[in-house]
Structure 1
Amino acid sequence: MLVRFLMLALVVSVAAAFAMPEIPQQRALSSALLATAVLATAIFASSSAIASLVRRSGLVLILILAVPAIYMAVQLAPVPVHGLGNPIWETASAALNAPLAERLTVDVRATVQAFLHYSTAVALALITTVVALDRQRAWQLLSMLVAISTIVSAYLLLRQTIGADGFSRGDTPVLAATGAVPAVLGLVLSAAMMTRAFEDRRRVKQRPFRVATTPWFALLATLLCLSAILASGDGMGTATAALLGVGIVLAAFAIRNWFSGVWGIASVLATAAVLFLAAFTLMPIRPNADLTVALSEHPPGATERMLQDAGHAGSGAGTYAALLPIHRDIAAPLSRERPTAAAAIAIEMGRPFLYGVLIVAVVGAGALLRCSLRRRHDYVYAAIGAGAATSLVVLALVEDGILEFGASLLAAALFGLAVAQSQRDTGAVTEQSRSARPVVGLDSPGPACAPIRSYGIGNASMRVGLGTIAVALIAQTVWLLAQPSYPGGLPVEALVPNDASRQALLRVLPQNSLRSDGDLRSGRPAAAPQPAANGAAASRPEFGVHPAAPTVLAQALRSSPLRGDLWLMLAALSREQRSVEYDVAALLKLSYYTAPNDLALLPLRLTAALGEASVVSDPELRELVQRDAKIAFARQPALRPALIAAYQSASAEGKALVDNLISEWDSAALQSMRKEGPIPGPKADPPLPSRTWGRGAAR
């Protein structure tokens, strides 16, 4: 009964991770389900199962799994020494007039979400290891993982075939998967299933239904996964990763069946290495690019700038999307910037951590391959882990799909399966030889506990550890469910009292400006809407505001100080309410520094800046306002009505600033602006200032 529940929990968790969008409620569901499964394992699993888990895990593997969680906790913890944390916290503290502890991370919500993401994957891997200790259940689990990866691959293939990702604008994807990781892992799994089916057909004279149908199912899965890989937009990089993973599985199969012995193993591995190097030479490499983005098929302009600014300690797990608005080009959609997983890890966790992960992955692949070659039967499971590890190393340099929630859970289940069957369970074999009744499962009562009394201390420690993980998962589930969808618990509808004011607020803010679900890990955040032609109306935010709105925004900024849209909204509300609590100029500066090239914020930012006399008297802020005016006048015709509206509502100092600026380009345009008429095109586009505005503010 216990094993059936555990298998159901892990399959539902992996399937739900692909079938639901990446939102806190989805992760809360997975966390709650896995917390129940881990707690049930700690309490009800038999001593033989716990002893087998202790033998499989080992102290080294436990330490490896604990290091990322410890490092994320260090990034979240307040830095005791002033100046060692990120400078954004000191700047935000001065702007909010509130003491904020310095931290390594630049976004607390994002790092907490990354921590919860990682702990969920570790819990799933442990549950998979417990379930897959039995060889029959290991085969069932392999079949389920192949089915899930095949369905996801078929969906990705459909999206690529239809075009435009298979959906028109505004449609909601059926499955939350974008990278080729599920297809690559599915290809490795299906290749292993096919080799296992080939061996079963040779050994079994009377072929039951399972043995007869497994090759056809594996062949269908292979074709769908391979088609999805070839149709993906990552070119030779993804194909090379898949080739390497499948090659390792086939190499293990060849060694076990035809090339036994030292020289046979050496010849097979040498052939696999030559084929891999030949495929690697076909991969396009960007010249003079950082190693972490050299194999990427997507333009990494902003990512390369982020890599140059990244420190050895990182900016905090999950903070890539929070840093992206600072470094992207003017008017560049956020959706076009797709980093590799290696680049995201180097930015968020630091390059030493990235190098450590790559070394552990390569060493782990070698260890699993060695375990596979030492087993006489069921060697294919450890070979799956070796092939998947090497494939993911290459994929980390090509795309960021491994960091998606569904793909990471699928990988965790795969590695749990590989570890569970990586070595022979001597205790189970001894017990089977002593008893006429075979061991039925993990929760089988009786004398199966006798051979493992020497593992009593280890068993107790493992049960305590599993219980601790369950408590942590329960805590994270409560945290996710308690977190509001909007900062401070108030939705955007609650910030303004009436419909007219609400529509005005929605016009001046991007669609996702007040959302703070903390899911900032993805390297492909939703693109902010570009300014529309009604920028003039949007730049006059004459709306009634909820009295608690400034407090709501300030509360969100205390944990996410890189939200340029929230800094701008707080500045606009403070100016509208004539608040003495915040300095409007300081808030506007932070809006510029944290979102310098977000054109969706430009109308409201010009209105707030030109209408404040103290803003114009600040030399630094005056130069930033002039930059926005140049962009609206010379480079973005859709923003000229917004510039006119901001000019008409500006203070005397603000109008003088715009007069001096535009008179240098075209006096006719200035006269048209004063009459509220359309502004003729400029005689010549002025050169845009350097995009270094705001760079380093998060450093």
Structure 2
Amino acid sequence: MLVRFLMLALLVSVAAAFAMPDMPQARALCSALLAIAVLATAAFASSSAIARLVQRLRLFLLVVLVVPAIYMTIQLAPIPIHGSGNPIWATASAALNVPLAERLTVDIGATVRAFLHYGTAVALALIATVVALDKQRAWQLLTMLVSVAAIVSAYLLVRQTIGADSLSPGDGPALVVTGAGPAVLGLVLSAAMTARAFEERRRVKQLSFRLTTTLSFALLATLLCLSAILARGDGTGTVIAALLGVGIIIAAFAIQNWFYGVWGMASVLATAAILFLAAVTLLPVRQNTDLAIALSAHDLAATERMLQDTGRAGFGAGTYVALLPIHRDIGAPSSRERPTAAAAIAIEMGRPFLYGVLIIAVLGAAALLRCSLRRRRDYVYAAIGSGAAAALAMLALVEDGILEFGASLFAAAMFGLAVAQSQRDTGAAASPSRSTRPVGEPDGPGPTSAPTHRYGIGNASMRIGLGSIAVVLIAQTVWLLAQPSYPGGLPVEALAANQAARQALLRVPLPNSLRGDGDLRSGRLAPAPQSTANGAAASRPEIEVDPAVPTVLARALQYSPLRGDLWLMLAALSREQRPVEYDVAALLKLSYYTAPNDLALLPLRLTVALGEVSVVSEPELRELVQRDVKIALARHPSFRPALIAAYQSASAGGKGLVDDLISEWDSAALQSMRKEIRVPSPGADLPPPNRVPGRGTAR
């Protein structure tokens, strides 16, 4: 009964990770299910099952699982030594006038979410290991994983066929999959199922209906996964990763059936290595670039800049998205930047951590292959883990799909299956209380001592460990449900939910090319009619703003100080309310630093900057404002109405700043600009606000 519940929880978690949108509620569902499953395992699993689990989880494997969690905790922990953390914390502390502890991470919320992501994957791997301890359950788990991979691959294939990648997230299909990881791992699983079916065919010497069904299903899954990989067209890197994983399965099958002995193993492995190296030579490698992005087929200009700025400790797990607005080009949407998983890990965790992960992947693949070759039957399960580790290490250098929630849980289930069937069960492990005599593997070199009290200690320690993991999962479920955006912070989208309140706050025209879903980030502002926006800019209607909103914004920035939209919104509200604790110029400067190229912020930023008297007196901030003005004048004409509205509400110093900048242009360009945006000559009065949308103004 317990194993059936564990399999159901595992299946629902993996399916939910793929089928539900990548949102806190979906992750909370997976975390809650796995918390119940882990707690049930700790409380109701038999002593023999716990002893076998202890036998599989050796000390080295436990260390490998714990180290990432410890490192993320170190990134989150306050650093008592001044100057040892990221400089953004000291800058944010000065701007907010509150003491902020320095940390390695630049976004506490993002790192906490990454920690929860990792904890969920580890919990699912442990559940898969417990389920797959039984051979029959292991086969059922393998069938289930192949089914999931076939469904996801079919979805990817259909998506490529109908061109759904060009659709918006709201218009696209239900599943959330952007990488080829599930298809590659599914190809490894289907190859292992095919190999095991051929093994069964040789053993029974007849083709039964069940065997025929298994072979047909495995071949269909292979066809779907391979078609999904080839249809993506991401280059040869993904194909080589798939061939590497499948090649390990084929090598194990060949050694077990035809090439016995040391020389047979050496010949097969040497042939596989030569073929792999020959395939690697076909990869297009970028010259004079970082190794983490050298094999990527995408343009990664912003990622390359991040890698150049990354230190040894990284910027914090999960902070790639928070760093992207600082490094991307002007107006470039974040969706165009598809870093490799290796680049994301190097940026977030540091290059030493990345190199350690790659080394562990290679060593793990070799260890699981060795376990596979030591078994005469059921060797395909350990070979699955070896092939998956090798394929994922290759995919990490090609794309970022393996870091997605669904793909990571799917890979965790595969590794749990491989570890569970990586070795035989000894008699003492299966029933530790029956004998205290030395026991050993049938094919092992000699007996090993396994006294009963050692299994008792390991049994109790494992139950305590599983209970601790369940507590962590419950805590993270509560956190995900209680704080979907920021711990102690604010879902900023709620501030912009009301169109009238948002326009009163912005008081600037918005370019029609920008779409809206309630955020101030690039491409996420709803356009308003030009005449309505200009009228709002002129009449400046007073709409009540909750006095607590600046405090909530400041609290959110204490957890995520790289949110340029939050700094700008706080600056705009501070300019309206003039609180004593905030300096508008300092807040505005941080908005420029954390989102310098986000065009969606340009209208509001021009309005706040040109209306603030202290901007003219600060040379650095003056240069930043001049840059925005040049962008609105020359590079993006759709923002010229926003510049007009900001000019009309600007202070005397702000108007002079715009006049001085326009006067630097040549006379022909100056006359053209004045005719188009109708900027008056110095000393002339501005036309009435209701005449702004008239002749010569971009609509």
Report the Cα offset of residue 502 of structure 1.
4.3
> Which residue does the alignment assign to 1:375?
375
> Which residue does the alignment assign to 2:595?
595
Cα RMSD after superposing both structures: 2.6
Retained in 1: the 8 A contact 2:164–2:173? no
Q: CA, structure 1 residues 496+338, in 2 after alignment: closer, same or farther (shift >3 Å)?
A: closer
Partner of 1:262: helix, strand, or coil? Answer: helix
Q: CA, structure 1 residues 272+343, in 2 after alignment: closer, same or farther (shift >3 Å)?
A: same
Q: For structure 1, which runs of at least 5 residues remain unmatched after alignment?
A: 436-449, 516-524, 682-699
> Which residue does the alignment assign to 2:684?
none
Partner of 2:291: helix, strand, or coil? Answer: coil
Q: CA, structure 1 residues 67+526, in 2 after alignment: closer, same or farther (shift >3 Å)?
A: farther
> Which residue does the alignment assign to 1:156?
156
328-337 vs 183-192, greater mean Cα deviation? 328-337
CA distance in 2: counterparts of 1:484 and 1:155, whole angstroms: 28
Report the Cα offset of residue 534 of structure 1.
3.8
Q: CA, structure 1 residues 492+276, in 2 after alignment: closer, same or farther (shift >3 Å)?
A: closer
Q: CA, structure 1 residues 53+277, in 2 after alignment: closer, same or farther (shift >3 Å)?
A: same
Give TM-score, length-normalised by structure 1.
0.90
Report the Cα offset of residue 291 of structure 1.
0.5
372-381 vs 661-670, greater mean Cα deviation? 661-670
Partner of 1:292: helix, strand, or coil? Answer: helix
Retained in 2: the 8 A contact 1:346–1:353? yes
Matched, 1:45 2:45: yes
CA distance in 2: counterparts of 1:499 and 1:297, whole angstroms: 41
Report the Cα offset of residue 173 of structure 1.
3.0
Q: How does 1:314-329 map to 2 (within 5 A)?
A: 314-329=314-329
> Which residue does the alignment assign to 1:537?
533
Moved over 3 A (4+): 166-170, 205-209, 428-432, 450-454, 484-499, 502-515, 525-536, 538-544, 675-681
> Which residue does the alignment assign to 1:673?
679
CA distance in 2: counterparts of 1:178 and 1:396, whole angstroms: 14
Q: Which amino acid aligns with 2:640?
A: R
Q: Which amino acid aligns with 2:47?
A: S
CA distance in 1: counterparts of 2:165 and 2:494, whole angstroms: 35
Report the Cα offset of residue 288 of structure 1.
1.1
Retained in 1: the 8 A contact 2:607–2:649? yes
Where relative contact order (Cα < 8 A, 6+ residues apart) is larger, the structure is 1
Q: When the two structures are aligned, how many residues end up with a matched partner?
A: 657
Report the Cα offset of residue 418 of structure 1.
0.2
Q: What's the CA shift string for 1:138-166, capped at 9, x where partnerless?
A: 00000000000110011011111111427
Retained in 1: the 8 A contact 2:489–2:553? no
Q: CA, structure 1 residues 495+169, in 2 after alignment: closer, same or farther (shift >3 Å)?
A: closer
> Which residue does the alignment assign to 2:445?
none
Q: CA, structure 1 residues 423+497, in 2 after alignment: closer, same or farther (shift >3 Å)?
A: closer
Q: How does 1:331-350 map to 2 (within 5 A)?
A: 331-350=331-350
Retained in 2: the 8 A contact 1:535–1:641? no
Q: CA, structure 1 residues 495+292, in 2 after alignment: closer, same or farther (shift >3 Å)?
A: closer
Report the Cα offset of residue 287 of structure 1.
1.3
Q: How does 1:508-547 map to 2 (within 5 A)?
A: 511=516, 528=524, 534=530, 537=533, 540=537, 542=541, 543-547=543-547
Matched, 1:360 2:366: no
Q: CA, structure 1 residues 389+642, in 2 after alignment: closer, same or farther (shift >3 Å)?
A: same
Q: Which amino acid aligns with 1:655?
A: K
CA distance in 1: counterparts of 2:518 and 2:493, whole angstroms: 13
Q: CA, structure 1 residues 478+174, in 2 after alignment: closer, same or farther (shift >3 Å)?
A: same
Q: Which amino acid aligns with 1:339?
A: P
Q: For structure 2, which runs of at least 5 residues remain unmatched after alignment?
A: 436-449, 681-686
Partner of 2:99: helix, strand, or coil? Answer: coil
> Which residue does the alignment assign to 1:444?
none
CA distance in 2: counterparts of 1:347 and 1:233, whole angstroms: 26
Retained in 2: the 8 A contact 1:486–1:492? no
Q: How does 1:119-130 map to 2 (within 5 A)?
A: 119-130=119-130
Retained in 2: the 8 A contact 1:20–1:26? yes
Q: CA, structure 1 residues 230+532, in 2 after alignment: closer, same or farther (shift >3 Å)?
A: farther
Q: What's the CA shift string for 1:448-493, capped at 9, x where partnerless?
A: xx99554111111111111110011111111111104578566668
Partner of 2:644: helix, strand, or coil? Answer: helix
Q: What's the CA shift string for 1:333-375, capped at 9, x where partnerless?
A: 1111010000000000000000000000000000000000000
Partner of 2:330: helix, strand, or coil? Answer: coil
Retained in 2: the 8 A contact 1:487–1:514? no
> Which residue does the alignment assign to 1:181?
181
Report the Cα offset of residue 167 of structure 1.
3.9
CA distance in 2: counterparts of 1:268 and 1:499, whole angstroms: 67
CA distance in 2: counterparts of 1:133 and 1:28, whole angstroms: 27
Q: How does 1:471-620 map to 2 (within 5 A)?
A: 471-485=471-485, 495=495, 500-502=500-502, 504=504, 511=516, 528=524, 534=530, 537=533, 540=537, 542=541, 543-620=543-620
Q: How does 1:429-444 map to 2 (within 5 A)?
A: none
Matched, 1:77 2:77: yes
Retained in 2: the 8 A contact 1:244–1:391? yes
CA distance in 2: counterparts of 1:342 and 1:314, whole angstroms: 13
> Which residue does the alignment assign to 2:461?
461
CA distance in 2: counterparts of 1:499 and 1:11, whole angstroms: 42
Q: What's the CA shift string for 1:522-560, capped at 9, x where partnerless?
A: xxx995469888499289375432222111111110000
Q: What's the CA shift string for 1:168-220, capped at 9, x where partnerless?
A: 67414311111000000000000000010111122125655422200000000
Retained in 1: the 8 A contact 2:300–2:339? yes
Report the Cα offset of residue 329 of structure 1.
0.4
> Which residue does the alignment assign to 2:165?
165
Matched, 1:635 2:635: yes
Q: CA, structure 1 residues 451+196, in 2 after alignment: closer, same or farther (shift >3 Å)?
A: farther
> Which residue does the alignment assign to 1:273?
273
Q: CA, structure 1 residues 405+238, in 2 after alignment: closer, same or farther (shift >3 Å)?
A: same
> Which residue does the alignment assign to 1:658?
658
Report the Cα offset of residue 511 of structure 1.
4.5
CA distance in 1: counterparts of 2:158 and 2:428, whole angstroms: 45
CA distance in 2: counterparts of 1:17 and 1:467, whole angstroms: 23
Partner of 2:57: helix, strand, or coil? Answer: helix
Report the Cα offset of residue 71 of structure 1.
0.1
Retained in 2: the 8 A contact 1:536–1:643? no
Q: Which amino acid aligns with 1:193?
A: M
CA distance in 2: counterparts of 1:497 and 1:369, whole angstroms: 55
> Which residue does the alignment assign to 1:695?
none
Retained in 1: the 8 A contact 2:150–2:224? yes
Q: How does 1:184-195 map to 2 (within 5 A)?
A: 184-195=184-195
Q: Which amino acid aligns with 1:572?
A: A
Partner of 1:673: helix, strand, or coil? Answer: coil
CA distance in 1: counterparts of 2:164 and 2:515, whole angstroms: 23
Q: Which amino acid aligns with 1:381?
A: Y
Retained in 2: the 8 A contact 1:609–1:616? no
CA distance in 2: counterparts of 1:112 and 1:184, whole angstroms: 29
Partner of 1:5: helix, strand, or coil? Answer: helix
CA distance in 2: counterparts of 1:169 and 1:362, whole angstroms: 36
576-585 vs 7-16, greater mean Cα deviation? 576-585
Q: CA, structure 1 residues 219+527, in 2 after alignment: closer, same or farther (shift >3 Å)?
A: farther
CA distance in 2: counterparts of 1:679 and 1:102, whole angstroms: 51
Q: CA, structure 1 residues 536+365, in 2 after alignment: closer, same or farther (shift >3 Å)?
A: farther
CA distance in 1: counterparts of 2:201 and 2:599, whole angstroms: 63
Give TM-score, length-normalised by structure 2.
0.90
Q: CA, structure 1 residues 295+288, in 2 after alignment: closer, same or farther (shift >3 Å)?
A: same
Report the Cα offset of residue 311 of structure 1.
0.4
Q: How does 1:301-316 map to 2 (within 5 A)?
A: 301-316=301-316
Q: Which amino acid aligns with 2:355?
A: Y
Q: How does 1:350-429 map to 2 (within 5 A)?
A: 350-427=350-427
Q: CA, structure 1 residues 510+604, in 2 after alignment: closer, same or farther (shift >3 Å)?
A: farther
Report the Cα offset of residue 670 of structure 1.
3.8
> Which residue does the alignment assign to 1:287?
287
Q: CA, structure 1 residues 561+497, in 2 after alignment: closer, same or farther (shift >3 Å)?
A: closer
Q: What's the CA shift string for 1:118-154, capped at 9, x where partnerless?
A: 0000000011001100000000000000000110011
